[in-house]
Chain A
């Protein structure tokens, strides 16, 4: 065997334990690691980088932001039947008011109390699903600003429409003015009380029930349409449905009833002030 290279310097310390590394392999090792091809977390099949679903098993790879049910699976909450039942329990009060042509503020208090009992009965029946809705809300400043602007736009549009065609709109505060009630009393009675009762019923019991039957978006739209329908005014259905959509979204995003109650009360108060 013939030595082809210089004699190793026996005085120098031997190289580290590892075998000598060829220059090309060392160069490759020094390069940043290439990311592994994406694989499905469920079936490990190779998937395209931009895929939303796995082509092999069909499972969704990117989380679906719309698939949001805020009642945990192990909590017994209201279902679709309860949502319809609470709708008709609410509608029963509206029907009696309509049939008996009740406009006297003192008599209307009885109906407010009835609706409060209906709403609280729902909370009492499904406490684990509905009591958490009375916790502190999760708020963001941009979200609050967009919501306030959207609600103000709906209010502005409906006020302009009511002024253009007053025949088709009911003056809700007329009975209060005729009975000599103060503005503060009317604001509380027409603005705050219905906001509290309707939010517990529609964004509380009914929306929670619809979320068990439909996907998130469908549940919000359905609850908004039911909210508009219960007011028995085909002309007001459009703006009430839009308001219902906003209130439903606010309730789901903040995971609390307080912001939707506040927004609803502010909307009602604006209506009272515009009619006063």
Chain B
């Protein structure tokens, strides 16, 4: 009887002579590449989470700085929108575990959409918080690049089959 191994991806039992897991198709010869893939996915997720946290922090900061000058409805709306965006980014961060590229693209499109609406309703918003906006763009572009690299690694592993 041949010795058995455990698949690193799905923990299914596989024969020691098998290169591919019979359960999930994982290529054991690419186990080394998985470390690189994990790193890229972690990078993409980190950037997305950072953007989400900044939305939440900026909501709190705006409330502290301008809270007293705003009417209650506007204050609540500001808080709900920013916390809503934070929750959406946490959702994208979770999704990025399996689909880093798609989640990063959606986060970027969401950022552009929100900024465009903000600027359309108040053109002075273009320069307001410019450094944070530049950071957001850098973070999200980095997330897209990391997501693309992660996808390339996954595709390379599939092509090897």
- Which residues on A are within 8 Å of B, measured CB to CB? 47-48, 50-60, 84, 87, 91, 95, 98-99, 167-168, 214, 218, 221-222, 225-226, 229-230, 232, 234-235, 237
Contacts and interface: CB of A to CB of B under 8 A. Distances in A.
A214 B155 CA distance: 11
B48 to A, nearest CB: 13
Contacts, number: 88
18 contacts: A47-B22, A50-B22, A51-B22, A52-B22, A55-B19, A58-B20, A58-B25, A58-B27, A60-B25, A84-B105, A84-B109, A91-B116, A98-B121, A167-B73, A221-B99, A229-B106, A234-B84, A237-B88
Nearest to B18: A55
Contacts of B22: 47-48, 50-55
Contacts of A50: 22
Contacts of B137: none
B117 interface: yes
Interface of B: 14-15, 17-25, 27, 73, 76-77, 80-81, 84-85, 88, 95, 99, 102, 105-106, 109-110, 113-114, 116-117, 120-121, 160-161
A229 B112 CA distance: 10
A148 B137 CA distance: 40
A235 B113 CA distance: 15
A167 B81 CA distance: 12
Given A222-B102, A229-B109, A58 B161 contact: yes
B117 A221 contact: no
A55 B81 contact: no
B21 A53 contact: yes
A226 B88 CA distance: 12
Contacts of B18: 55-56
Nearest to B21: A53
Contact of A214 (B20, B27, B76, B102): B102
Contact of B113 (A54, A59, A91): A91
Nearest to B117: A232
Contact of A167 (B14, B76, B95): B76
User: When A and B form their complex, which 7 residue pairs have the shortest distance between CB atoms, in order from nearest?
Assistant: A55-B18, A234-B84, A58-B20, A99-B120, A53-B25, A51-B22, A58-B161
Contacts of A48: 22
Contacts of A52: 22-25
B43 to A, nearest CB: 19
B109 A218 contact: no
B81 A222 contact: no
B117 A95 contact: yes
Contacts of B161: 57-59
Contacts of A226: 106, 109
Contacts of A214: 99, 102
B102 A235 contact: no
B14 A234 contact: no
Contact of A225 (B15, B19, B76, B106): B106
Nearest to A96: B120
Nearest to B95: A221
Nearest to A59: B161
Given A53-B22, A55-B22, 19 more contacts: A47-B22, A52-B23, A52-B25, A55-B14, A55-B15, A55-B17, A55-B20, A56-B19, A58-B27, A58-B160, A167-B77, A168-B77, A214-B99, A218-B102, A221-B99, A222-B105, A229-B106, A229-B113, A234-B81
